[in-house]
Amino acid sequence: MVSPADDDDLAAQWEAALAGEDEAGEGDDADELAAEWEAMIGVGGGDDASTEVAMGGHESTRVLNQDEIDSLLGFDEDHDEGDGKSGIQAILNSALVSYERLPMLEVVFDRLVRMMSTSLRNFTSDNVEVSLDNIVSLRFGDYLNSIPLPAMLSVFKAEEWDNFGLITVDSSLIYSIVDVLLGGRRGTAAMRIEGRPYTTIERNLVERMIHVMLGDLSAAFEPLSPVTFRFDRLETNPRFATISRPSNAAIVAKLRIDMEDRGGRLELLLPYATLEPVRELLLQMFLGEKFGRDSIWETHLAEELWMTDLDLNAVLDTQVMRLSEVFDLKVGSRIMLSATPESDVALLCGDIPLYRGKMGRKGDRIAIKIQGRLRKEKG
């Protein structure tokens, strides 16, 4: 084992050799000192603690390859197919779409699906099946960027809530509706001609379908909160259908409409700002929930309050006295009141003034005839 003193001497000689202070054979001496220094370090190789001391506590580092870096950051393509995210991407995604859940809204959308199935069957005179794929929360700007074009975007307004919503009809559903309403044959897929603007007939037919859906949406919200959804305009460019700030949160319900071998997708977007007036109602777990309130007990309590006995105090006069004067009062002391037989008498319940009136007599009892209410003085 090399002593610490020898270790210090060799280190000093090595530094001197590097600095050029050793005048006899700089290159050869530097090589010999380097070899001797490495040999000295290798002497304690069997002992991990000695090696760590000799190396100055330095630990070896491992370089990650690109696959390991992608996996750490959550950008691994092999795992993107699943719903689970990991790494930094999971943290970012949780911050983007982690919004409160509205249980009653799912009930409203279930009612909408049942109503639309019946309404669209009457509208198209065909066998129509409407299904709810999923309900997601995301930012409004992200949704606009994800809309597959071409598509029709219908902007509607909730009159009572004074805000807007958005309905997106994809190209497949547009051509399917046009084909069905204009008498297309069953068993043949609707013809799709991409790369051209929608005609006036196509826009009018889709607008009629939107009116049917908005009527069903109003009926679906009816048990929860009466609201009227009014058709505002129809757009084909997402930039002109901006109804909220890009960073605002929104709820998107994705519906699938099947008409035997034809059909398409329809998406309903409601910003959280639109649902804010009925947010407390949408937080209910079931319809009629009162958030801990018992209506039966409230009714009973209100009825019993009317039967409650109260003590009213008739105040003839009030005086302000010093504390020393109050302590000087004895049996037989007199307090002179400034009230006269014509003075008003105040009726108080505790410290709350209620009525004013005149004092008199009825039979063998002293009575007060109420002449008006007393207003509580503002402090």
Contact assessment for residue 333 and residue 321, using Cβ atoms and an 8 Å cutoff: no
Q: Which two tokens stand for residue 368?
A: 């007060």
Kindly state whether residue 166 falls inside one of the protein's structural domains.
yes
Kindly report, residue by residue over 158-203, the tens digit of the pLDDT.
Answer: 998 889 999 999 888 888 888 888 887 766 555 555 667 888 888 9
Judgement on whether residues 152 and 253 belong to the same structural domain of the protein = yes
- Band of the pLDDT at 49, cuts 50, 70, 90? very low
Kindly state whether residue 121 falls inside one of the protein's structural domains.
yes
> By residue range, what is the domain housing residue 16?
4-54
Kindly state whether residue 236 falls inside one of the protein's structural domains.
yes
Judgement on whether residues 113 and 225 belong to the same structural domain of the protein = yes
| pLDDT over threshold 60, residue 46 | no
Predicted local distance difference test score (pLDDT) of residue 360: 84
Judgement on whether residues 116 and 24 belong to the same structural domain of the protein = no
Judgement on whether residues 259 and 175 belong to the same structural domain of the protein = yes
Task: Report how far Cα 124 is from the mean position of its chain's Cα atoms.
Answer: 38
Predicted local distance difference test score (pLDDT) of residue 264: 87
Domain count, the chain: 3
Kindly state whether residue 242 falls inside one of the protein's structural domains.
yes
Kindly state whether residue 293 falls inside one of the protein's structural domains.
no
Q: Which of 28-42, 132-146, 241-255, 345-359 has the lowest mean pLDDT?
A: 28-42
Judgement on whether residues 189 and 258 belong to the same structural domain of the protein = yes
pTM of the model: 0.52
Judgement on whether residues 26 and 112 belong to the same structural domain of the protein = no
| pLDDT over threshold 80, residue 153 | yes
Neighbour count for residue 205 (Cβ, 10 Å): 19
Distance, CA of 124 to CA of 182 (rounded, Å): 10
Judgement on whether residues 272 and 325 belong to the same structural domain of the protein = no
Burial status of residue 375 (CB atoms within 10 A of its CB: 0-12, 13-18, 19 or more): exposed
Nearest to 217 by CA among 366, 373, 113: 113
Where residue 332 sits, what CATH number does that domain have? 2.30.330.10
Contact assessment for residue 277 and residue 161, using Cβ atoms and an 8 Å cutoff: yes
Judgement on whether residues 38 and 145 belong to the same structural domain of the protein = no
Strand-pairing partners, residue 157, are 164, 230
Judgement on whether residues 133 and 250 belong to the same structural domain of the protein = yes
Neighbour count for residue 332 (Cβ, 10 Å): 5
Kindly state whether residue 231 falls inside one of the protein's structural domains.
yes
Predicted local distance difference test score (pLDDT) of residue 43: 47
Predicted local distance difference test score (pLDDT) of residue 218: 92
Percentage of the chain modeled with pLDDT above 90: 14
Kindly report, residue by residue over 112-127, the tens digit of the pLDDT.
Answer: 999 999 999 998 888 8
C-alpha to C-alpha distances, 198 to 83, 118, 165, nearest whole angstrom: 36, 27, 22
- Band of the pLDDT at 98, cuts 50, 70, 90? very low
Instruction: For residue 126, report the phi and psi dihedrals to the nearest 5 degrees.
Output: -140, 165
Judgement on whether residues 199 and 124 belong to the same structural domain of the protein = yes
Kindly state whether residue 86 falls inside one of the protein's structural domains.
no
Judgement on whether residues 278 and 328 belong to the same structural domain of the protein = no
Rama region for 148: left / alpha / beta (φ>0; ψ in -120 to 50; rest) = beta
- Band of the pLDDT at 51, cuts 50, 70, 90? very low
Strand duo 163-170 + 151-158: pairing:
antiparallel
Kindly state whether residue 42 falls inside one of the protein's structural domains.
yes
Single residue among 282, 304, 329 that ends a domain in this structure: 282
Task: Report how far Cα 273 is from the mean position of its chain's Cα atoms.
Answer: 10
Where residue 192 sits, what CATH number does that domain have? 3.40.1550.10
Single residue among 282, 299, 333 that ends a domain in this structure: 282
User: 3-state class of 22 per DSSP?
Assistant: coil
Distance, CA of 52 to CA of 65 (rounded, Å): 27
Q: Which two tokens stand for residue 276?
A: 């804010």
| pLDDT over threshold 90, residue 39 | no
Judgement on whether residues 125 and 274 belong to the same structural domain of the protein = yes
